[in-house]
């Protein structure tokens, strides 16, 4: 049995309207020494209520769930939860490969977006990565994301206020983040430490007044700071 008082245990809430899928996730995660499922939700409203009650470290959230008491699905639940308990990370785990769902999930504050086509055994590693501060996205969705934002950047007018200036090194880091690299890979590519990468990412977010790595990439493409072919 996991000691939930241990500081290294990642406390997880699973929100999905399919009971068998929730149970399958719970069975897999129960075998992990550093992960504990503290609650399960059947819809977005339950996810909001249980998130405020348990304040989990991370929520596995389905995108498409039945509307319930004013919360229509996982994306609305994500936005509400991020307002109520902003330190809780949210990882979308869904069958939806629609660009609009991905875009809305990022805007709502999700730190990752994975399709249910991934092996269920990979979920634990995804939880650890997002809990550690990384952003995850299914490879099959990454190109759709960047293509969509590049199209949006061409359509939108340039802002009247100049964008905050990033250093050359920060631009290098941001470019590698946009390519889907994690902190370790970026550190190896630039021959710097992971802590230095984390500091650069933090400075980028502070300068751009954003909350996540994904939002930083979106901003950079929209403001034409980053060229996506």
CB 70 within 8 A of CB 27: no
- Tokens coding 135: 């952003």
Q: Whose CA is closest to 39, among 63, 14, 2?
A: 14
What are the strands of the beta sheet with 58-61, ordered from one edge?
35-41, 10-15, 58-61, 89-94, 112-115, 136-137
Confidence of residue 150 (pLDDT cuts 50, 70, 90): low
Determine the Cα–Cα distance for residues 147 and 157; give it in Å rounded to an integer.
Answer: 18
The 10s digit of each residue's pLDDT in 78-136 is 999 999 999 999 999 888 777 778 878 888 888 888 888 777 778 898 899 888 887 77
Domains, the chain = 10-137 (3.40.50.2300), 144-222 (1.10.10.10)
The predicted pLDDT at position 197 comes to: 93
At a CB cut-off of 8 Å and minimum separation 6, what does 128 contact? Answer: 10, 34, 35
What DSSP letter does each residue of 58-122 carry, written as one string?
A: EEEE-S----BTTB-HHHHHHHHHHHHSTTSEEEEEES---HHHHHHHHHHT-SEEEETTS-GGG
Mean pLDDT of 163-185: 83
- Tokens coding 221: 């493409």
- Tokens coding 164: 């905050």
The 10s digit of each residue's pLDDT in 7-26 is 689 999 999 999 988 888 89
Q: Is the pLDDT of residue 1 over 60?
A: no
- Tokens coding 225: 């700071």
Q: Whose CA is closest to 148, among 213, 212, 104?
A: 104
- Quick count: other Cβ atoms within 10 Å of Cβ 133? 15
Between 213-222 and 168-178, two packed helices, what is the crossing angle to 10 degrees? 110
Determine the Cα–Cα distance for residues 207 and 164; give it in Å rounded to an integer.
Answer: 6
Q: Is the pLDDT of residue 184 over 80?
A: yes
Secondary structure letter of residue 163 according to DSSP: P
Q: Is the pLDDT of residue 189 over 90?
A: yes
The 10s digit of each residue's pLDDT in 193-218 is 999 999 999 999 888 888 777 777 77
């Amino acid at each position: 049995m996991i000691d939930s008082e241990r500081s290294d245990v990642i406390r997880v809430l699973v929100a999905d309207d399919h009971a068998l899928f929730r149970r399958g996730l719970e069975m897999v995660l129960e075998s992990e020494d550093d992960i504990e499922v503290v609650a399960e939700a059947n819809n977005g409203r339950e996810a909001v209520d249980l998130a405020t009650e348990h304040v989990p470290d991370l929520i596995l959230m389905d995108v498409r769930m039945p509307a319930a008491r004013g919360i229509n699905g996982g994306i609305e639940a994500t936005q509400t939860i991020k307002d109520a308990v902003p330190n809780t990370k949210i990882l979308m785990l869904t069958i939806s490969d629609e660009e609009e769902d991905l875009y809305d999930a990022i805007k709502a504050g999700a730190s990752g977006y994975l399709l249910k086509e991934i092996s269920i055994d990979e979920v634990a590693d995804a939880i650890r990565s997002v809990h550690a501060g990384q952003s995850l996205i299914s490879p099959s969705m990454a190109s759709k994301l960047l293509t969509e934002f590049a199209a949006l950047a061409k359509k939108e007018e340039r802002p009247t206020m100049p964008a905050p200036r990033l250093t050359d090194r920060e631009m290098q880091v941001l470019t590698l983040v946009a390519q889907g690299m994690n902190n370790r890979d970026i550190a190896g590519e630039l021959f710097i430490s992971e802590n230095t990468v984390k500091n650069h990412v933090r400075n980028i977010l502070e300068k751009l007044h954003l909350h996540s790595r994904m939002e930083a990439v979106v901003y950079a493409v929209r403001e034409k700071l980053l060229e996506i072919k």
